[in-house]
Structure 1
Amino acid sequence: MNQINDLRSALELLRNLPGQLAETDVPVDPMAELAGVYRYVGAGGTVMRPTKEGPAMIFNNIKGHPGARIAIGLLASRDRVAALFGCKPQQLSRTLLEAVEHPIPPVLTAKVPPCQQVVHLASDPDFDLRTLIPAPTNTPVDAGPYLTLGMCYATHPDTGESDVTIHRMCILGRDELSIFFTPGIRHIGAMALRAEELGRPLPISISIGVDPVIEISSCFEPPTTPLGFDELSIAGALRGEPVQMCRCLTVEEKAIANAEYVLEGEIIPGVRVTEDCNTHTGYAMPEFPGYTGPSSSECCLIKVKAVTHRENPIMQTCIGPSEEHVSMTGICTEASILAMAEKAMPGKLTNICCPSSGGGKYMAVLQFKKSVPSDEGRQRQAALLAFAAFSELKHVFLVDEDVDCFDMKDVFWAMSTRFQADQDVIAIPGVRCHPLDPSNDPGFSPSIRDHGIACKAIFDCTVPYDQKARFKRAEFLEVDPSRWLEKTAGSPQWQEVKACAQND
């Protein structure tokens, strides 16, 4: 596999994989039109139908931004993520978990970094984020142009420990960004609050267009990566070498050296801004549940001091509810749950999938193996461990080892034939979940006491151990189908058959 260490080497790998990258020179407007195009090409996820899984895209002709390019959809396919990671799709969560357990910390490069080939200072009179950064909107009612794949890097003012996370950031003016922190979840939000208590700004760098393993690693959360754990060390482990960092030019912070763009700035203490202060649409942008949420009036303000970038930079973006979000958060969720289950009951949780329908956060399918009579009931304990490992999880489906947890058709088959609602639904009411789920609100149900609280549920679609013989699936003759399909070799249908046989 080509050695990947930045966005460009990742794109080069995809160019050599049939059907994984499309490129166009047709002019496109970044304001809603670009996302509107990709919605049909390959957004997937929780995007309103029709949508599908398709290739990543590069748009080479961006209206209003001469010479700019935008890449979208690199992570909008589990198969594509696996190719970028160098493993099979079913092994992604275990590959990530191994990297978490053997981290390689980032290092500071002594060389002039690629991300600083071109420098724009906010003190220059012609400096303007709105022209320097070809940031798109997802829909016509977005609050403004958003940075959706900015790797935010900051350092805790007390401990000196650094962290990387992704947040939605809206361009408000020539040198101002809003940044939204989900309450009580992400580490940089805690750093910003502590700096505010101390009455001082928090230096921050925002790296855009990086090695895709960084984008996925940055989405880990506690307890797998507690406050003080730098997720860049996970990306280092995945590549077998440390992530290269560089010193920022205008703030006391570091940035990812191979990034396409870097924004340097400070989170200003005691200031809160409204995302749609320019457009007054009342909306922010589409988030992973598939809804366009209301704009927040409690966003922190980033004052940008510089923008640096590579020569001929490539802006990277994503559609909020697309399969890219599922890949980034879902695979990390899978790895976190596997880690906890493996410690509590080694070998019982054989695989796990956080599918598109849950946006990578709300739903998990656990494949559990019952080997002895005493394993009965432990599958539900695994579900409770999953809720403990990932607080934003809302629904857990339990299936046996003969059910493909990555195929929701197979999961619903198990639900149809191995599940009785009066016995196999376990409701857990009154638990804190995620505020972006609009059903987690007292207005939706009087049983919910506060916004962000949910009734979590386990759907046990496993066969009772003492009845396994009654539920044995039909077994077919094992054959190599290639003899009968030689004339269609190379066709999409043949590729599907070949992949099915390889994954068996």
Structure 2
Amino acid sequence: MLEVSAPISKTYQIAGVLKQIEPRPAIFSHVIESKFPVMGNLFCSKASFASYFGVPVHQIIPLLAGAIENRSACERVSAAPCQEVVNLSPDLDELPILRHCEKDGGNYISSGVFVTRHPQYGQNLDFHRCMQLSKTEMSVRVVKSRHFDAFLEDLRDLDVAICIGNAPNVLAAAATSVELGVDELEIANALEPLQVVKAKTVDVWVPAECEFVIEGTVHLDRLREEGPFVDLTETYDIVRQQPVLEVKAITHRRDAIWHALLPGALEHKLLMGMPREPTIFRKVNQVARCLDVNISPGGTSWLHAIVQIDKQHEDDGRKAIEAAFAGHTSCKHVFVVDSDIDIYNPLEVEWAMATRFQGDRDLIIKPPSPGSSLDPSAEPGTKNTTRVGFDLTKPLETQGKSFDRAAFPQVDLNQFVKDTQ
């Protein structure tokens, strides 16, 4: 953890430092415009996320899948750290809401977990970015077809609690895609025991130990401009007319720390891509023996998936490609490799393509169909994209040269070399 005690601005400077030192985490104790410190780059890799839960990286998918399947009710409490301070006359200017890049439309909350409730479907958790408009108003980017969008379309005026400074179990749960009616806080509770408390002015239950809670109402019929803003692909999203959030209250810990989530950076990518890996794993495992999945940062942690299988039949690679696209419909390129390839090492994946792939035999090109709105190369309006699969697995029966890498002897360097660093 890098501790930055020098005075620093929430406008551009904190974001600039976090990006330059990425993936190193940092805390900024002297923010010029706010009394609250800011912390960022907390979980920039699957390894750091796995270490929090005490599991190896290849156990993340079983961990997340198990929590989704075995979700459980949270313990409800009447008093909580996130409500040590209650402000019913809120002023967003008091918070260290960052302006990240020069072309941004305004100051943005990008780490906020939105908690909402529907009278029929219960609670829902997900991430939404929101741009500050004034001391008490924000414009919220609402992605069509998400559960939040369905709630808002139905109710027109939707009460929300934006939770900032959440533990990894809450962050991961909020990023999962589950069926309508599932309270993602129960997934978080299955990952790690979680207490919840009733919000002060809206009818939802929020994580008791988060740092800040911004309570208010989103009005579907009140629209304001939102954007530009840096997307997951590190390119600028367009300006849209989006619903306005009217803030009613802000509660927080006495010693609250603001969580800054850099848009398009490694922590953003991890939280977007990692929760989609179990869905790919489940689909691929129905047609082949799947070992692991990596929605890779190089593919913006959204558009590329590397799938590792234990190949049993010659067509397992092709079947795995089709299944992976079914498991993550926003995916654009899928790479299927054998069990001897480290899917977290781009050099090994590229080596598999160089030595085990023939384009006329191992390439699958699917006709254009709606893909991800995050892909700047997708067709405007329709979002149509061409999906491509690469079968980088070696044949079960080889003719000619071997496809296996030679193994060098393992020796104890300390016997021969004094400085092994």
> Per the shorter chain, which TM-score range?
over 0.9
Q: Deviations over 1:258-299 (max 9, x none)?
A: 111001111113222212xxxxxxx422111011222222x1
Q: Is the 8 A contact 1:366 1:399 kept in 2?
A: yes
The answer as to 2:169 corresponding to 1:228 is no
1:205-216 equivalences under 5 Å are 205-216=161-172
Q: Deviations over 1:276-334 (max 9, x none)?
A: xxxxxxx422111011222222x121111000010021000111111112211222111
Query: How far 1:397 moved relative to its partner?
Result: 0.4
CA gap of 1:479–1:326, structure 2 versus 1, over 3 A, is farther
**Counterpart in 2 of 1:5?**
none
C-alpha distance in 2 between matches for 1:291 and 1:76: 19
**Counterpart in 2 of 1:104?**
72
Query: How far 1:482 moved relative to its partner?
Result: 5.6
Query: How far 1:432 moved relative to its partner?
Result: 1.5
**Counterpart in 1 of 2:224?**
273
Q: Deviations over 1:43-72 (max 9, x none)?
A: xxxxxxxxxxx311101111111x310010
**Counterpart in 2 of 1:166?**
127
CA gap of 1:268–1:484, structure 2 versus 1, over 3 A, is farther
**Counterpart in 2 of 1:356?**
297
Q: Is the 8 A contact 2:321 2:391 kept in 1?
A: no
CA gap of 1:416–1:238, structure 2 versus 1, over 3 A, is same
Q: Is the 8 A contact 2:10 2:98 kept in 1?
A: yes
CA gap of 1:270–1:463, structure 2 versus 1, over 3 A, is same
**Counterpart in 2 of 1:465?**
396
For 1:236, what is the secondary structure of its paired residue? helix
For 2:405, what is the secondary structure of its paired residue? coil
Moved over 3 A (4+): 478-488
Query: How far 1:113 moved relative to its partner?
Result: 0.8
Q: Counterpart of 2:151 in structure 1: which amino acid?
A: M
Query: How far 1:100 moved relative to its partner?
Result: 1.7
Q: Counterpart of 2:72 in structure 1: which amino acid?
A: I
Query: How far 1:247 moved relative to its partner?
Result: 0.9
C-alpha distance in 1 between matches for 2:260 and 2:415: 43
* Contiguous gaps of at least 5 residues in structure 1: 1-20, 43-53, 276-282, 443-449, 494-504
Query: How far 1:339 moved relative to its partner?
Result: 2.1
Please report the RMSD computed on the Cα atoms of aligned residues, expressed in angstroms. 1.8
**Counterpart in 2 of 1:62?**
31
C-alpha distance in 1 between matches for 2:51 and 2:168: 11
Query: How far 1:396 moved relative to its partner?
Result: 0.3
CA gap of 1:287–1:483, structure 2 versus 1, over 3 A, is farther
- Match for 1:202 among 158, 161, 172? 158
For 1:470, what is the secondary structure of its paired residue? coil
CA gap of 1:100–1:485, structure 2 versus 1, over 3 A, is farther
For 1:366, what is the secondary structure of its paired residue? strand
Q: Is the 8 A contact 2:47 2:56 kept in 1?
A: yes
Query: How far 1:361 moved relative to its partner?
Result: 1.1
Q: Counterpart of 1:195 in structure 2: which amino acid?
A: L
Query: How far 1:466 moved relative to its partner?
Result: 2.0
**Counterpart in 2 of 1:502?**
none
Query: How far 1:366 moved relative to its partner?
Result: 0.6
C-alpha distance in 2 between matches for 1:306 and 1:232: 22
Q: Deviations over 1:95-145 (max 9, x none)?
A: 2122222212223213x11111111113xxxx42122x2110110221111
1:123-162 equivalences under 5 Å are 127-131=90-94, 133-159=95-121, 161-162=122-123
Q: Deviations over 1:193-227 (max 9, x none)?
A: 1112xxxx211111100112211221111xxx111
Query: How far 1:485 moved relative to its partner?
Result: 6.4
Q: Is the 8 A contact 2:117 2:203 kept in 1?
A: no
TM-score when scaled to structure 1?
0.80
Q: Deviations over 1:160-216 (max 9, x none)?
A: x211101111111111111112222x21121111112xxxx2111111001122112
For 2:388, what is the secondary structure of its paired residue? strand
Q: Is the 8 A contact 1:405 1:411 kept in 2?
A: yes
**Counterpart in 2 of 1:84?**
52
Count of residues in Structure 1 that have an aligned counterpart in Structure 2: 420
Q: Deviations over 1:453-472 (max 9, x none)?
A: 21111011111222287212
**Counterpart in 2 of 1:183?**
144
For 1:416, what is the secondary structure of its paired residue? helix
For 1:465, what is the secondary structure of its paired residue? coil
The answer as to 2:202 corresponding to 1:254 is no
Q: Counterpart of 2:205 in structure 1: which amino acid?
A: K
- Match for 1:333 among 276, 284, 287? 276
**Counterpart in 1 of 2:63?**
95
**Counterpart in 2 of 1:115?**
82
Q: Is the 8 A contact 2:87 2:251 kept in 1?
A: yes
The answer as to 2:16 corresponding to 1:36 is yes
Q: Is the 8 A contact 1:209 1:259 kept in 2?
A: yes
Q: Is the 8 A contact 2:117 2:123 kept in 1?
A: yes
C-alpha distance in 2 between matches for 1:431 and 1:482: 57
Query: How far 1:356 moved relative to its partner?
Result: 0.5
C-alpha distance in 2 between matches for 1:246 and 1:37: 35
C-alpha distance in 1 between matches for 2:17 and 2:29: 14
C-alpha distance in 2 between matches for 1:345 and 1:152: 36
C-alpha distance in 2 between matches for 1:56 and 1:486: 33
C-alpha distance in 1 between matches for 2:335 and 2:258: 38
C-alpha distance in 2 between matches for 1:316 and 1:354: 24
C-alpha distance in 1 between matches for 2:100 and 2:201: 31
For 2:368, what is the secondary structure of its paired residue? strand
C-alpha distance in 2 between matches for 1:301 and 1:481: 63
C-alpha distance in 1 between matches for 2:354 and 2:43: 32
Query: How far 1:481 moved relative to its partner?
Result: 4.6
Q: Deviations over 1:400-437 (max 9, x none)?
A: 11111111111011111111222222111222111121
C-alpha distance in 2 between matches for 1:169 and 1:406: 32
C-alpha distance in 1 between matches for 2:417 and 2:327: 45
Q: Deviations over 1:220-263 (max 9, x none)?
A: 11xxx111122222221111x2x211111112222221111001
TM-score when scaled to structure 2?
0.95
1:291-370 equivalences under 5 Å are 291-297=235-241, 299-342=242-285, 344-345=286-287, 348-370=289-311
Q: Is the 8 A contact 1:428 1:456 kept in 2?
A: yes
CA gap of 1:164–1:487, structure 2 versus 1, over 3 A, is same
Q: Is the 8 A contact 1:157 1:195 kept in 2?
A: no
**Counterpart in 1 of 2:335?**
397
Q: Counterpart of 2:410 in structure 1: which amino acid?
A: E
The answer as to 2:5 corresponding to 1:22 is no
